Structure 1
Amino acid sequence: MKHLPRKRFGQHFLADSAVIDRIVRAIDPRPGQALVEIGPGLGAMTDPLVERCGRLTVIELDRDLAARLRRRAELVVVEADVLTVDFRALAAEHGQRLRVLGNLPYNISTPILFHLLDAADRVEDQHFMLQKEVVDRIVAEPGGGDYGRLSVMLQWRYEVEPLLDVPPEAFEPPPRVDSAVVRLAPRAAPAPVERSLLEALVASAFSQRRKLLRHSLGRWLEARGHTGPFDLQRRAEEVPVAEYLALAQAVQGAAAPAPSGG
């Protein structure tokens, strides 16, 4: 029986063999690697991946699709909402870092990316098909309208690289937006900042994009008693990732308890 795409799962199945081949070649899967595919759908990428690596873990929420996938001995099927999957535990089960990939549901792509941040040190790399607008935001540099919270948070932990654009007609049914594939490779030594602190800082900075930072981030810093040097006479989109990280470290250091005397 033919599977009908379900809107509530944001299903758009990749169907262009040339695009699939380009993506798989970019991933370059090898036997013995711990590959995890999010949302395998009808198996368009799953099949060529298995041909190259022999075995694959897939995460699928759709009950009917999961049942189909279980018939294949070379697949380990995790039937679950990806936002509930413990990727650190999955890496421990494999005994190695994960290579995560997939055509992510566009309606929850950003939450998935943030969910995976918690396991970045247990991941080798990630290759995702996303709405092109999201990829543009991920890879954006300071000074442009695409640069924002997503840019800072992901570039903190990953080297980011756009790989290829994918038109709507490559899917069945075609989405109403252009798509793109991005590679996220975890940094070997990311700045040692608390994620929750950095998230709060960046959210404050970009809460009033059109105003100078003294109106938003300035008040946030003042509330935390931070008086260190930082140019607040700029807009959030003008501040490089490295400066946000340095500021987060300064705030974090000031909030840390002083060592007790001996």
Structure 2
Amino acid sequence: MKHPITPGNPHRARKRFGQNFLVDHAIISQIARSVHPRAGEILVEIGPGQGALTEPLAERAETLHVIELDRDLVPWLKVRFEKHPGFSLHQADALKFDFAELAEPGKPLRIVGNLPYNISTPLIFHLISYAAQVKDMHFMLQKEVVKRLAAQPGEKSYGRLTVMVQYYCKVSWLFDVPPGSFDPAPKVDSAIVRLEPYHQLPHVAKNVATLEKLVAAAFGQRRKTLRNALKSLLEPEQMDGLPVDTGKRAEALSVADFVALSDAIDDLLQADE
């Protein structure tokens, strides 16, 4: 029989869920101030865990949905937070959750989460698919992932994740979180990042599928020049008129460069059909 979570019998973090519970009150307050819930917004917290961040969010938010995968935490979270009139709990896998169900006309979703490393990248792309309903996202991630999200061309961390997330979102690296802020303490540093989906993309690709293929090919062999990396997409003679220098490596190109190159490749591929 499973025992309820009480101060004397706390829930133990589970490795299979990638759980590391946030316990540093100063960091919790800093995250809540960064999110700064306002009237007329719908907050969504992914992976509330033991409710450390849920508490200040529930106190300030008009509407707060929390999504928790761990069934053992659900009854405890309900008891602790059901006193808040705008609180709703969903026992679900965030990777499969339909976030459009939570949106309301004129009320943007604001998403917050301490994301396990093993699902952070697919979950970010899942959430980006709801960009039209999302105002911003604040995530606690492994610091190395935040470096990749916020990287600029020419930096070592700049890669496929960087380009595709920055195509859709403005990325802001807010602050770092040391391992001692968690129980159990992870072996890596963490950081808070803010992603703000563009509601008018600064650079619009003609075909996003072509852009995705291009970025995957370019960074799949990042030590090679673009001319060598793009052989899977184009014939050598098709590369001469491209709008970027194919003698460069992928990490030298900006998001705008990738979009221009994607559009040129898309035109060449359509001409061959």
Shared fold (TM-score, shorter chain, > 0.5): yes
The equivalent residue for 2:250 is: 236
CA deviation after TM superposition for structure 1 residue 251, in Å? 3.1
- Residue 15 in 1 paired to residue 23 in 2? yes
CA deviation after TM superposition for structure 1 residue 54, in Å? 3.8
Residue of structure 2 aligned with 1:32, choices 25, 28, 40: 40
Single out whichever of 129-138 and 78-87 deviates more from structure 2: 78-87
CA distance in structure 1 between the aligned counterparts of 2:234 and 2:195, rounded to whole angstroms: 31
For the Cα contact (< 8 Å) 1:221–1:227, is it kept in 2?
Answer: no
Deviations 1:76-100 (A, max 9, x none): 1111111101122332x57632101
Query: 1:115-154 residue pairs with structure 2 within 5 A?
Result: 115-154=126-165
- Residue 76 in 1 paired to residue 88 in 2? yes
- Residue 167 in 1 paired to residue 167 in 2? no
CA deviation after TM superposition for structure 1 residue 22, in Å? 0.7
For the Cα contact (< 8 Å) 1:124–1:186, is it kept in 2?
Answer: yes
- Residue 211 in 1 paired to residue 219 in 2? no
Q: Secondary structure at the match of 2:234?
A: helix
Deviations 1:180-232 (A, max 9, x none): 00011111311333433222110000011111111112441339x67642321
CA distance in structure 2 between the aligned counterparts of 1:53 and 1:81, rounded to whole angstroms: 23
CA distance in structure 2 between the aligned counterparts of 1:165 and 1:196, rounded to whole angstroms: 34
The equivalent residue for 2:214 is: 201
CA distance in structure 2 between the aligned counterparts of 1:89 and 1:198, rounded to whole angstroms: 29
For the Cα contact (< 8 Å) 1:226–1:254, is it kept in 2?
Answer: no
CA distance in structure 1 between the aligned counterparts of 2:129 and 2:234, rounded to whole angstroms: 25
For the Cα contact (< 8 Å) 1:192–1:249, is it kept in 2?
Answer: no
Query: Cα gap change, 1:96/1:197 in structure 2, threshold over 3 Å: closer, same or farther?
Result: farther
The equivalent residue for 1:260 is: none
The equivalent residue for 2:265 is: 251
Q: Secondary structure at the match of 1:82?
A: coil
CA deviation after TM superposition for structure 1 residue 30, in Å? 1.4
CA distance in structure 2 between the aligned counterparts of 1:125 and 1:253, rounded to whole angstroms: 34
For the Cα contact (< 8 Å) 1:159–1:186, is it kept in 2?
Answer: yes
For the Cα contact (< 8 Å) 2:42–2:62, is it kept in 1?
Answer: no
Contiguous gaps of at least 5 residues in structure 2: none
CA distance in structure 1 between the aligned counterparts of 2:199 and 2:241, rounded to whole angstroms: 28
Structure 1 runs of 4+ off > 4 angstroms? 253-257
What's the C-alpha RMSD, in Å, of the aligned pairs?
2.0
CA distance in structure 2 between the aligned counterparts of 1:172 and 1:28, rounded to whole angstroms: 25
CA distance in structure 2 between the aligned counterparts of 1:118 and 1:54, rounded to whole angstroms: 25
Contiguous gaps of at least 5 residues in structure 1: 258-262
What is the TM-score of this pair, normalised by structure 2? Answer: 0.88
For the Cα contact (< 8 Å) 2:24–2:181, is it kept in 1?
Answer: yes
Q: Secondary structure at the match of 1:163?
A: strand
CA distance in structure 1 between the aligned counterparts of 2:105 and 2:90, rounded to whole angstroms: 14
CA distance in structure 2 between the aligned counterparts of 1:248 and 1:119, rounded to whole angstroms: 23
For the Cα contact (< 8 Å) 2:128–2:197, is it kept in 1?
Answer: no
The equivalent residue for 1:57 is: 65
CA deviation after TM superposition for structure 1 residue 24, in Å? 0.7
CA deviation after TM superposition for structure 1 residue 256, in Å? 5.7
For the Cα contact (< 8 Å) 2:40–2:107, is it kept in 1?
Answer: no
What is the TM-score of this pair, normalised by structure 1? Answer: 0.91
CA distance in structure 1 between the aligned counterparts of 2:269 and 2:77, rounded to whole angstroms: 50
Deviations 1:111-131 (A, max 9, x none): 111111211121100000000
- In the alignment, residue 252 of structure 1 is paired with which amino acid? D
